[in-house]
Structure formats: structure tokens, C-alpha cells
Amino acid sequence: MTSTKKFMTLERFINEQEQLHPNATGEFTGLLHDLSLAAKLVWREVSKAGLVNILGTTHRLNVSGDVVKKLDEFADETVYRAMDHGGHVCVMASEENEDILHIPDHYKAGKYVFLFDPLDGSSNIDANITLGTIFAIYERVSKEGKGTLEDCLQPGYKQLAAGYIIYGTSTMFVYTTGRGVHGFTLDPSVGEFLLSHENIRVPKKGKIYSMNEGNYRNWDDGMKYFVDYLKETDKTTNRPYSLRYIGTMVGDAHRTLLYGGIFAYPGDKNNPEGKLRLCYECNPMAFIIEQAGGRSSNGKHSILQVQPTALHQHTPVFLGSEEDVLICEEFLSGNR
């Protein structure tokens, strides 16, 4: 019996989703198509990075002080150039650029705002470990013309869409527009992303915790007690948990989305706001996790409620299964 599953490409899915919005102008659809192309162009270089002279560093630091790898720079330019001329976007912002990125004057400025981390997991590039591209899409708040910083500093609950491309054992495009979370796996033989994970749901409770426990000594007591709790043996509450940590947010968040448990990058006494960036890492991942029935938190409340004040600001981030994140919040608030 051959599968009755629809042969659904990302492009076809995006077009069908547009039909659900009677007033759609097609601009949003066009933006997602441009992004799908960018994803394939980045995948093409990432998948052969070891073979061409694109590994190694540019000997430049980005705004977060991270060494910029050649592949980082390639991905940043590729995503920007794929998105800058379609007339759908009025402004962009990227992890690799301190200031907002304007649309060239000779192109039309559209009504959307595009924030992205072009290649998350840079420190893993040369070791051939999972990498990712993360994106968040908003509607502009400025009236017309060039987009502004204010357009980029919107709280996460205003995201129209968010998602990531994960370059792992296979390459997947995972995104939400507020109607569930859907995953598309790239079939390199035809160059199409095919629907492989429709309506992903996070398990209510998991058995995996994912964080850099090397920072344990610098964590607050509540965080230490939470991790100690996860490692105690208690069969009634399915403990001890297993530790899984890739060191690429996209990889750790994707596994958490599918398997459940909790991913965290807490603040500590040296970096009270943690390491991960609110606008183009934590907000998109929080939107994805919450749309899949999970929970996100900055330790107190949903990440999506935070009002950004700076483009590259950090935030403590906890995301995953609802029960696991709730227990974590109880420890952090001293109520457990």
C-alpha cells in the first residue's frame, strides 16, 4: 500500500497557508519563499564547508565578541541578499551586524521586519557539529520608507512568524506563523523542503536536561537546586534525567521540541543576563516552543513578554516541556 501522505513541499504549504488569510496580499508568502531560497543557498555551503576554503576565521569579532567564521560571514551575506530585494522587508537585523540593516535605496521597502542569526553554533563549525539559522518576522510599526530600530525592538508576542533551519544529519526548515509548528526536511536530490513533521507538539514532560553545566558554580542557588533535583533518583517522577548538550542552540532546542525536557542558558554571577540574545535567538525559539504546547521563560515569565531595549541584548532562557519549565521556575523563585 503506497503512502497516502500528500507530497507537500514547503512552497506549496506556504501558498496553502496564504489561503487561510482572506486579506493576504501575497507579500508574506513572497518573503517566506525568499527565505526558503536563502536556506538552500546556506545549506549548499554548510554541507561542503570542509571541502572548500570556507572554514576558519575572518579574524574579526562580531558585536557579541564572538570570532566571526568565514561560514558565518557567508551565511550573513547570503540571507541578507536573498531578502533585500523582494520588496517584502523594510529593515533587517543580524547577529553579525551591530546596527540595523537597511534595504538598498533602489529596492522597495516592504511591510515586514526580518531579524536573524545567520549561523548559530559558530564555535562548532570546524568540528562538523549541528549548525542553524534562526529567524523572526514582525510587521513594521513605522509608517513608511526605511525601517527603524523601533521596528526591530518589538516584544516576541508580536512575531508574525519564527523558525529555524537546522543543518544536521539532515537539513530541516521548522517554522510557525501562529498556527502550529511544522517541519520540512530537505531532499537534496530535488532541492525541495518536504513536509516531514506536521504540527509538532512538545511532550508535556521530558527526561532530558540541556545546559552547560560547566557554569554550575556561577549559577544562583535556585538553579543549582533544580539541577541537583533532576539528578536525584526517583522512579515516580522519572528521575534522574539525562544530560544532552550540543552547544548549538538550534540543535538543543530542536531536540527539546521533539523529545521534551528542558533547554536552559541561565544567567550567572558573571553574566546575569546569560549568553543568548533575545531578539533573534530566544524570541523565535520561544514562539516555536509555545506554539508546540511547551513553555518558555526568562526565569519569571514567558520570554515573549519581554520588551527589548537593545538589538543584541541577552536574556536568561529556559524552554521546553511545560511541566519541566514550571518546576524550574519554582526552584528559581525559591518556592521549591
- Nearer to ligand P6P (CB atom), residue 247 or residue 293: 247
- Nearer to ligand P6P (CB atom), residue 22 or residue 214: 214
Q: What does the alpha-carbon distance between residue 294 and residue 289 come to, in Å, rounded to a whole number?
A: 5
For residue 170, how many other CB atoms are within 10 A of its CB? 11
Q: What does the alpha-carbon distance between residue 141 and residue 28 come to, in Å, rounded to a whole number?
A: 16
99 is catalytic: no
Which of 73, 84, 96, 290 is labelled catalytic?
Answer: 96
Closest separation in Å from C-beta 178 to ligand P6P:
25
- Nearer to ligand P6P (CB atom), residue 123 or residue 237: 123
3-state secondary structure the chain: CCCCCCCCEHHHHHHHHHCCCCCCCCHHHHHHHHHHHHHHHHHHHHCCCCCCCCCCEEEEECCCCCEEEHHHHHHHHHHHHHHCCCCCEEEEEECCCCCCEECCCCCCCCCEEEEEEEEECHHHHHHCCCEEEEEEEEECCCCCCCCCHHHHCCCHHHCCEEEEEEECCCEEEEEECCCCEEEEEEECCCCEEEEEECCCCCCCCCCEEECCHHHHHHCCHHHHHHHHHHHCCEHHHCECCEECCCCCHHHHHHHHHHHCCEEEECCCCCCCCCCCEHHHHHHHHHHHHHHCCCEEECCCCCHHHCCCCCCCCECCEEEECHHHHHHHHHHHCCCC
Which of 66, 198, 323, 330 is labelled catalytic?
Answer: 66
268 is catalytic: no
Closest separation in Å from C-beta 200 to ligand P6P:
20
- Nearer to ligand P6P (CB atom), residue 177 or residue 256: 256
Closest separation in Å from C-beta 215 to ligand P6P:
7
Which of 18, 34, 72, 290 is labelled catalytic?
Answer: 72
Closest separation in Å from C-beta 135 to ligand P6P:
14
322 is catalytic: no
76 is catalytic: no
- Nearer to ligand P6P (CB atom), residue 47 or residue 64: 64
66 is catalytic: yes
- Nearer to ligand P6P (CB atom), residue 229 or residue 265: 265
**Interacting residues with ligand P6P (CB under 6 A):** 120-123, 212, 247-249, 265, 275
Which of 18, 120, 290, 324 is labelled catalytic?
Answer: 120
Closest separation in Å from C-beta 125 to ligand P6P:
10
34 is catalytic: no
120 is catalytic: yes
Closest separation in Å from C-beta 236 to ligand P6P:
32
Which of 18, 34, 84, 117 is labelled catalytic?
Answer: 117
Residue 235 CA, chain-centre distance (Å), reads: 33
72 is catalytic: yes
Which of 281, 290, 324, 329 is labelled catalytic?
Answer: 281
Q: Which residues are catalytic?
A: 66, 72, 95-96, 117, 119-120, 281
